[in-house]
Structure 1
Amino acid sequence: MLSAGAAMVLAGCASTAGTGPRETSDGAVQKEPAAFTQHRFTSADGTSLSYFRHGQGPVLVWICGTLSTWDDWRHVASRLSPRFTNFVLERRGRGASADGAAYALEREVEDVLALMQEAGPGACLFGHSLGGILALEAAAQRPPARLVLYEPPFPISQRIAREAVEFVRTTWKREGPDAALVAAQHRIFRVLTPEQLDAFRQTPQWVKQLGMMETFLREVSAVADLPIGVERFRAVDTATLVVLGDRSPQVLLAEPAHALTKVLPHASLRVLPGQGHVAHVSAPALLARELEAFLTAR
C-alpha cells in the first residue's frame, strides 16, 4: 500500500471518486460530496474556462496542481461548503476548459486573476502544488482576502533538472505515457520505492495520469525555469497559511514551505502530522479543518 502522500509529490494525483461513503486515514467517514454546478468564464487571452461551484458564504477559489483535475478536490471543498461558496477551477487544457495557442505560466496566472474577478471582492484563494505557485503569483497582483499555499514547489536550493524533464519528454515520445510517467518518478520526484511504484501502477490514479502527460510536461518545464528563491514575494502582505506535510520531501516541497513562511510578512506554517502532498486524499477532514480554522479566524 502507498504511504500517505507518496503517490506523487508534485500532483494532487489521486482521484476521490467512489461509490458510497468510505473511511479515510484520519478516521472520518467520507460521504459522497454534494453536487457542484458547472460555470464558464473567459480569461484575458480569450480562452473559455470552466469552474465548479457549490456552497454558501464568502467565495473560496481553489487551484489544483499538475496531473490533477478539479474533482480531486470535491471532498475537501464540500466540507467547507456550509461556510464558503467554493469556486473550483478546471485549469486550462483539462476537461471542459479550453487551451491557448502557446503555454506559459503567465497565462495560467491570468486564468486565476480572471476567476478572482468572477468571484468578486472578499474572495479567499487556495493553491496546491503548481496551483500554489499560480495562486501566489496572482496574489501579488490582486490580493485575496486570505491565501492558502499547500506545498508549492518553488525552487529554493536547486531547480528541477532540465535534463530530467527532457528525458521524460523523450521517453514519452518514443515509448508512450506509461514509460514517461515511470521516468518522471525516477528522474524528477524520486519519492517512491520500487515496491510503491509497482503498487501505484495498478491503481486507477495511474491510468488517469497517463492521459495528462502532455499538460504535465509543459507545466513541469515551466516550474524548472522558475528563478531560484522567493524573495520577490516579500511585498505580498495578505494573511497566508502555508501547509506542509511532515512526510513530504525536503528539497522539492519542505524547503519552499519554510522559505515562504520566512519571506511573506503575514504567513504562518501548519505542518500536517502523518501527511504528505495529497492530504486532500489521505486526510480530507483534517485538511478541511485546518483550512476552515485559518479562513474563519479573526
Structure 2
Amino acid sequence: MERTIQKKLSVGGDGWVTVDVYGEPDTPGLVVVPGVMSDAHTWRHVAGAIDAWPSVAVVNRRGRAPSGPLTSPYSLRTEVEDLGVVLDEFAGTRALFGWSYGGLITLLAANERPVRQVIAYEPVMRPFGRHALPDLKTAAETADWDRCVEIVNRQISGFSAAHVDDLRADPHSWALLRRLSGPLYAELGALNATPPPDVMARQADQVDLIIGQCNRGTVPYGTSFDHVWQHVAHAKVHELPGQGHLAHIEAPAELGRLLDNLAAV
C-alpha cells in the first residue's frame, strides 16, 4: 500500500512525533514502532508490503526528524507515553508491531491498555549493550557519530570490521546511520536503567514474538529475545527463515508477508 498522509502529534512538554500512514488513514489497522538506529522512513518497504490491515501507521519516534528531539528527562516511560498518544489518535488500533527497542515499548504499552494483538520482532530488554555505554557516552559528548555507528555495529551487534567497512563505502547509507545514531546513547541508557516488569503485554489478547532464524540462541539478539520471552507467558514464537535482526532492510517483503500471516482474524 502507498503512504497517504503524515500526521504530527504533540506529546509531553514541547515534544512532538510524526506518524507516516499507509492505506486508509481513517480505518483502524496496524501501528508500527521502530527501534534504535531506525526511523519511519526505513520501514517504508515493510509498510508497503503489508495487506492484512487496511492501514499501517509507522511511528517516527522522538529524536528522528521530522519528529522532535529527545527531551530531558528521557526514559522508557517517555516512549510508552508517546505511544499512548499515538494510540489515542488512532483509536481502535487492531494490532501493535515493534522492532527491537520498539518491540519492548509495545510490550510495555500493552501492560497499560487493552490491545487486541502485539507482534514484536526480536525485542530487547535490560541488560542489553550495557558494556558499550561508556564508549557511547564519550562519542555522543564529542558528537563523534562515526564512532557511534562503529560501536553499535561492532560492540553491540557483533558485526565484523568488514561489515562496517562495507557500510562506510556507501556514503548515503553511512550518512543516514550517522544521523540515526544521535539518540542512541540516551536510548540504550534508558533501556538499561529500567528494571523489567515480571509480566509484559498483560492486557494483550494475543502476543506473537518473531526471531530471525540466524539469531536463534545467539548473542546478543537471540539471548535477549529468550529473556523477553520469559516475561510474556502467553506468547507464540515464530521464526523468519534466513534472516537476522535487520529483516526490515534485507527482506522487507518477506517480513511483510509474515506479518500478514500473523494478523489476528
Normalised by the length of structure 2, the TM-score is 0.88
| CA 1:82–1:289: 2 relative to 1, 3 Å | closer
Offset at 1:82? 6.4
> Contact between 1:55 and 1:80, CA under 8 Å: does it hold in 2?
no
Of 252, 260, 263 in structure 2, the residue corresponding to residue 292 of structure 1 is: 260
Structure-1 residue corresponding to 2:129? 160
> Contact between 2:30 and 2:96, CA under 8 Å: does it hold in 1?
yes
> Contact between 2:133 and 2:189, CA under 8 Å: does it hold in 1?
yes
| CA 1:183–1:262: 2 relative to 1, 3 Å | closer
Kindly provide the CA deviation profile for residues 226-250 of structure 1, in whole angstroms up to 9, marking residues without a partner as x: 33x6633273443011010121272
Of 160, 163, 169 in structure 2, the residue corresponding to residue 202 of structure 1 is: 169
| CA 1:123–1:46: 2 relative to 1, 3 Å | farther
Structure-2 residue corresponding to 1:93? 63
Kindly provide the CA deviation profile for residues 78-107 of structure 1, in whole angstroms up to 9, marking residues without a partner as x: 222563211111111211212334322211
Kindly provide the CA deviation profile for residues 137-174 of structure 1, in whole angstroms up to 9, marking residues without a partner as x: 1111112211110111113xx54335x21112213444
> Contact between 2:103 and 2:120, CA under 8 Å: does it hold in 1?
yes
Q: Identity percentage over the alignment?
A: 26
> Contact between 1:55 and 1:81, CA under 8 Å: does it hold in 2?
no
Structure-1 residue corresponding to 2:188? 220
Structure showing greater relative contact order (alpha-carbon pairs closer than 8 Å, 6 or more residues apart): 1
> Contact between 1:55 and 1:82, CA under 8 Å: does it hold in 2?
no
In structure 2, the residue corresponding to 1:154 is in which secondary structure?
coil
Could you tell me how far apart the structure 1 residues matched to 2:50 and 2:148 are? 36
> What letter corresponds to residue 18 of structure 2 in structure 1?
S
> Contact between 1:66 and 1:216, CA under 8 Å: does it hold in 2?
yes
In structure 2, the residue corresponding to 1:75 is in which secondary structure?
helix
> What letter corresponds to residue 58 of structure 2 in structure 1?
V
Q: RMSD of aligned C-alpha atoms?
A: 2.3
Structure-1 residue corresponding to 2:77? 106
Unmatched tracts of structure 2, length 5 or more: none
> Contact between 2:110 and 2:204, CA under 8 Å: does it hold in 1?
no
> Contact between 2:121 and 2:209, CA under 8 Å: does it hold in 1?
yes
> Contact between 1:61 and 1:124, CA under 8 Å: does it hold in 2?
yes
> Contact between 1:60 and 1:125, CA under 8 Å: does it hold in 2?
yes
Of 93, 100, 111 in structure 2, the residue corresponding to residue 140 of structure 1 is: 111
Give 1:56-135 correspondences, 5 Å limit: 56=24, 57-81=27-51, 83-99=53-69, 100-135=71-106
Normalised by the length of structure 1, the TM-score is 0.79
